[in-house]
């Protein structure tokens, strides 16, 4: 569609997602999902709008002030209404026209599109008539609430206005749905990952000692946006030297010194879907023997993790198996003793001294995408695979991450276009 930088998923996908959600809800349920707020910075400034992931998942609409209302009837039938911000003279001059009702329908598959000023009147009619009101809430286990979201604010207001109305949370249902990707979603993720790997490989060739981490960030940003990404899918980590051991280093303010490693944790966002990749490279194009030994150890664990990621394996069991494999590598590197590992050989938590994060998280609209607490791997789930070894006393931090789709017979690497082996990295940089 000419109004978007990306090729959107067809509206039939969004209709099918709403059908699947409605099929799990009781007759009389009213679903209400709001766009995320536009957050202020200072003076007349705002943060860029970032769409609510569940609203995007169910409508494909990436515009502020959007609301999805679904009235569920018997046997999963449902009537959907989309509220959009109406364009006016002021908006046309300052921001450009917003979606028309026709475009709203074309993108979302929802026939009943109205302007957002009908919001209060519609809810005054539909909320008291509803048996249950189902609201979007973010129950991610690691969520930290700095401010109330629009959806949380509405939940509080609803309970105050209609204390007898039963309010239910959509989080678990949508988390379960979003964990398994459809073919349309896989297509967006493949493109996000293609851009992520291709842009990195292009930039890799020009990296030299003395470059600023920020210069590499700028080159990556150009490489991604030129390929129709909207932006990085998260704050990019370009960490050299000691900062390779800072897991979420994002200031990217140092110059890369000869002999340093540079750890990249980067991703492009395409069509609302996130790529997420880590690579670790020598600033001067050649790994030292010790850097190479640690890299090869991490890579062995990376391949092992991809190998055992199969339908039917539970996530926590997978993480345990990866820890066992990592323990063996850390012993070989002289970082752990065999005695330490033997104290708990089935689950050697001592590896956390050098590998302190999880191996994998779901990937999708969100970089840390939603899912049930401890899911069982299944076909068409998309996961990152990202073991790391961080030795602060040696200024060696290595993380090797790709994204994979789980198929019946194994995993599909979504970033095969970025060098992974030592020889390939050194060749690309020579
Ligand atoms: Mn990741």
Residue 4 lies in a domain: no
Do 179 and 375 meet the contact criterion of CB atoms below 8 Å apart?
Answer: yes
Same-domain status, 378 and 410: yes
Give domain status of residue 243, yes or no.
Answer: yes
CA dist 69 → 28, 78, 107, 151, 311 (Å): 13, 10, 16, 13, 35
Q: Are residues 210 and 161 in the same domain?
A: no
Looking at the structure of the chain, the number of domains it has is 2
Q: How far apart are CA 49 and CA 51, in angstroms?
A: 6
Q: Please name every residue paired with 139 in a beta bridge, in sequence order, or none if there are none.
A: none
Q: Are residues 112 and 159 in the same domain?
A: yes
| Tens digit of each residue's pLDDT (9 = 90 or more) over 54-112 | 999 999 999 999 999 999 999 999 999 999 999 888 888 888 888 999 999 999 999 99
Q: What is the pLDDT of residue 94?
A: 86
Whether residue 169 is found in the same domain as residue 195: no
Could you tell me if residue 217 is inside a domain?
Answer: yes
**Is 134 a residue whose pLDDT tops 60?**
yes
Neighbours of ion ligand 1 (CB under 5 A): 276, 384
Task: Report pTM.
Answer: 0.96
Nearest CA to 325 among 303, 357, 353?
303
Distance CA 170, CA 137 (A): 7
Continuous segment of H or E residues that includes residue 227: none
- Residues 248, 329, single domain; the answer is yes
Question: Residue 417: what pLDDT?
Answer: 97
Q: What is the 3-state secondary structure (H, E, C) of 273-291?
A: EECCEEEEEECCCCCCHHH
Q: Is residue 241 part of a domain?
A: yes
Read off the pLDDT of each residue in 309-319 and give the average, rounded to a whole number. 98
Q: With bands split at pLDDT 50, 70 and 90, how would you rate the model's confidence at 323?
A: very high
Structural domain ending residue among the three candidates 179, 207, 224 = 179
CA pair distance 221, 223, nearest whole angstrom: 5
Q: Give the pLDDT confidence score for residue 96 in this predicted structure.
A: 85
310 within some domain: yes
Residue 249 Cα to ligand 1 midpoint, Å, equals 14
Question: What's the 163 CA to ligand 1 centre distance in angstroms?
Answer: 41
| Domain ranges, residue 250 | 183-429
- Report the separation in Å between the CA atom of 14 and the middle of ligand 1, taken as the mean of its atom positions: 26
Average pLDDT over residues 235-248: 97
Average pLDDT over residues 220-233: 98
- What is the pLDDT, as a whole number, of residue 1? 46
**What distance in angstroms lies between residue 384's CA and the mean position of ligand 1's atoms?**
6
Mean of all residue pLDDT scores within the chain = 96
Tell me the C-alpha to C-alpha distance, in Å, between residue 49 and each of 7, 37, 304. Answer: 20, 7, 39
3-state SS assignment for residue 403: strand
The alpha carbon of 346 and the centre of ligand 1 are apart by a number of angstroms equal to 26
Q: How many whole angstroms from 415 Cα to the centroid of ligand 1?
A: 13
Q: How far is the CA of 87 from the centre of ligand 1 (A)?
A: 38
Residue 263 shares a structural domain with residue 374: yes
Give the pLDDT of residue 248. 93
Q: What does the pLDDT read at residue 324?
A: 98
Please give the distance, rounded to the nearest whole angstrom, from the Cα atom of residue 41 to the centre of ligand 1: 28
Q: Is the pLDDT of residue 247 over 60?
A: yes
201 and 163 co-located in one domain: no
Centre of ligand 1 to C-alpha 47, Å, is 24
Statement: residue 163 has pLDDT above 80:
yes
């Amino acid at each position: 569609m000419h109004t978007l930088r990306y090729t959107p998923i067809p509206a039939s996908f969004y209709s099918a997602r709403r059908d699947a959600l409605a099929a799990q809800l009781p007759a009389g349920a009213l679903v209400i999902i709001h766009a995320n707020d536009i957050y202020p910075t200072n003076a007349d400034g705002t943060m860029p709008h970032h769409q609510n992931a569940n609203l995007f998942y169910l409508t494909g609409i990436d515009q502020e002030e959007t609301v999805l209302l679904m009235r569920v009837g018997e046997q999963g039938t449902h009537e959907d209404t989309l509220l959009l911000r109406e364009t006016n003279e002021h908006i046309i001059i300052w921001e450009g026209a917003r979606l028309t009702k026709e475009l709203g329908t074309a993108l979302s598959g929802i026939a009943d599109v109205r302007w957002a000023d009908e919001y209060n009147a519609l809810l005054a009619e539909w909320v008291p008539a509803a048996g249950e009101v189902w609201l979007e809430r973010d129950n991610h286990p690691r969520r930290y609430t700095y401010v109330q979201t629009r959806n949380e604010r509405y939940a509080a207001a609803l309970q105050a206005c209609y204390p007898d109305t039963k309010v239910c949370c959509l989080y678990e249902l949508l988390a379960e749905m979003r964990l398994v990707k459809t073919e349309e979603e896989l297509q967006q993720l493949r493109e996000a990952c293609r851009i992520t790997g291709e842009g990195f490989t292009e930039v890799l060739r020009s990296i030299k000692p003395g470059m600023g981490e920020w210069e590499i960030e700028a080159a990556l940003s150009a490489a991604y946006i030129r390929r129709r990404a909207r932006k990085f899918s998260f704050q990019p980590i370009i960490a050299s030297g000691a900062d390779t051991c800072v897991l979420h280093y994002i200031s990217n303010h140092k110059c890369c010194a000869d002999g340093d490693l540079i750890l990249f944790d980067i991703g492009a966002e395409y069509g609302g879907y996130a790529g997420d990749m880590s690579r670790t490279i020598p600033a001067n194009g050649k790994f030292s023997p010790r850097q190479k030994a640690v890299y090869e150890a991490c890579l062995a664990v990376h391949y092992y993790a991809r190998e055992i990621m199969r339908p039917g394996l539970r996530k926590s069991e997978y993480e345990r198996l990866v820890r066992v494999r990592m323990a063996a590598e850390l012993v070989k590197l002289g970082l752990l003793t065999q005695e330490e590992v033997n104290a708990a050989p089935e689950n050697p938590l001592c590896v956390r001294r050098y590998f302190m994060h999880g191996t994998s998280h779901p990937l999708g609209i969100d970089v840390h995408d939603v899912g049930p607490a401890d899911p069982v791997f299944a076909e068409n789930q998309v996961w990152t695979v990202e073991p790391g070894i961080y030795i602060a006393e040696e200024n060696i931090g290595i993380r090797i991450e790709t994204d994979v789709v789980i198929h019946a017979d194994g995993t599909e690497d979504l970033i095969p276009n970025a060098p992974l082996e030592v020889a390939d990295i050194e060749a690309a940089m020579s």
